[in-house]
Structure 1
Amino acid sequence: MNRARLRLAAVTAWSGPPMPIVPLRPSPFPLLPEPHDESARQSALEGYELLDSVPEAAYDDLVRLAATLCDASAAAIALVDNGRIWYKARHGLGETERLRSQSICSQLIADAEPDRLMVIADTAEDPRFAGLGLKLDGRPLRFYAGAPLMSPDGYALGTLCVLDHRPRELRAAQRDGVAVIARQVQHLFELRRYAIEQRRLLSEREAFALQLESAQADLQRRHELLQHSARHDALTGLLNRSALSQLLGSEDAMEPLRNAAYTLLLVDVDHFKQVNDRYGHLLGDRALRAVGDAVAASIREGDVAVRFGGEEFLVVLPGTHLATASEVGERIRQRLARASLPFALTVSIGIAGGDPARDRPEQVFDRADRALYRAKAQGRDRLAVDEG
């Protein structure tokens, strides 16, 4: 083959009619052109997450097949990264990457067109690459054939290249075979990108589901907080009068009072108006909280404590007789006597027992109220029990 023919290294189509020739660029070494849209091309390449990935048998098999088909010393899938050529797969090639400025692949992606194959019969006779001193595992690289690996939107990601130590040509069947293998590589690329996209979508769905779950949990917490606020006294934390009305209208809540004896305690703060007048409303609120704390600490789970009015508290003790209720009343008084307040605070307590067989709840409440009145009339800071 003469020198002129070698300089007309053919870029041939991958199948079908005779291929068009890619004219040689007259660019002097070592300035190899980059694609005009290099930034977008690099971004497209990175979208496949191929760079520095682990070896994969599917790619290794394809480069081995390309080398065997072309009876060549080596073959590789070369990805053109920033400043380097990185080999996703290689056969007969020891290095894992090389400088981009010292590669034929950089030239190929600058000229890349879909369905074209660049063949350099003898690199020593090509003015673009003769001065690079290209080596193939320590020996001069003389033959190169490369098919561009394109993204669907037209960006050249790299090449499927076949390399040899001796100048040569490819037969038409070999060129077509390299084209078929290159298409399979691109197919693997797209499967990889599809899998990445599916993982991304799955991750987004999982993140959305977590956000939705968190939002639902937050909404539930807010709902529970609103319910708690609607049913509880903000100052003492005990149930409020609205909650008491709901309990009275609830079949489940009233069930214990219909099946067994119970007691009611009415607790009233002694001289509370004087507390407010003398010490102010802030300390008055503190006093009410102290009463609420004493009540809450003195009853069992399942008992009901309600801030019934301004300074009045109602305690319902299901399944409890008068003697036990009196003990609860005394615990409330004693705890309040130990409360950390800048003044002495006492309560009067009226207690009445209810029998479901003969008493309606409002009747028991009236008897507890009369007992409370007696406690106050007898000097306050005491409890009185209705024995009726």
Structure 2
Amino acid sequence: MSQFTHSVKVPTQYKVTAKILKAAIEKQKSIKSLIFEEKHARVRSLQAVLKHYSDNRGAIDSAIEETGLLKDNPNLDSALAKVLVTELIFGRGQLNGESRPVQTVRLYKDRLQEVIKGAGFEKKEPNPRYVRINTNLLSIADALEYLAGEEWRRKELDPDISYADFLAAVRTLEEDEFIVDLNVEGVLIFHHKSRNFWACHDFVFSKKFILQNKATCLAAELLAPPPGSTVLDMCAAPGMKTLHICNVMQNQGRIYAVEQARDRYKALCDITEEAGCQIVTPMIADVLTIGPQQCPDVEYILVDPSCSGNGMQGRISVCDEQKDDKRLFKLAGLQIKILCHAMKSFPNVKRIVYCTCSLWKEENEQVVQRCLQLNPSFKMLNGKKALRNKWQNVGDKEYAKIGKNCLYCLPDHDLTDGIFLAMFERISEDDQN
């Protein structure tokens, strides 16, 4: 190693990323909050490297161990090694600068790749980029015309295509192609490499296009309030689903959007105003104190409460996520309270959609089961049928009459975030009798 120049410093970006990774591993701190604290760092670059490490942690750690990178170079910081290997093998494919750690890792590139390939590890490709048209500000026809003018090619599909064939078409998208979604009107699907294009697009900043994962769009699709309806969004911030409900209602009717936290309430107010939502009434309140006096004539309710969030693919985790039964018990208790409040307190409600970004049954099927036991005036609707049977993943069928009616979005299968959805309808008095 004597040929290395000792005086050349490691690029700041690598040092800062390694510092964050080390704190996250040793102190069990949130990577999101650690990145936020780095005021002067290029946040997008930090997130990209740490997300690559999160997605491929097993392969990276094994390759470092198998090649003897740290054993042969005891002065090489472990966290920095992980960052450099991540960038070299799973990120940009090259390293900046001529510092000693950078040159050391470059020397191991071929061996690292051999170990990863030999162990059967493959780079995890990100899911596609979903872009939803905000029809308050831009019609679907005008959006498609604009994209054609920007030389995006629309991949045409058979109107009767199966869901399995649709997913196959999404997986084989070319970088300059997009597909109109099969399940949700106004959702367009692009190759994952288009992310940088959309991140800086004028139409995104002006809220004509909304960067919203398809899975979260299913909530408004299932709620399906017609124009002129009165809707209550019980846990509304940051407002993406509120905006989508407004689009479904063609900006006609009324949406009461409730949020308890002041900073999130401001975000809700900002996005609904910027996105041209004329029918939204933002409210800062504890939703459990809200009833028909504050929100009269409510017919449709979206219940999207706080949850563990373990289905969200944007999360960055550098440690094995352990199931926290105590936390799930507390979350489920709150979720049951809110969903039961929706069922009990609004006499005119026709349909309720319950949604979480969790894949744990404690927050999903078990919450649904308990709320139906406590509220026999409601029944479940079949979510798969509501999507014209163009869906595959449903709930656990061990929950009789519940599991088959719920929907799951599973990241590796549906190419979306992990989301759970359940639909409820009030039973008429005649049916109850």
TM over 0.5: no
Query: Of Structure 1 and Structure 2, which has the larger fraction of its residues in strand?
Result: 1
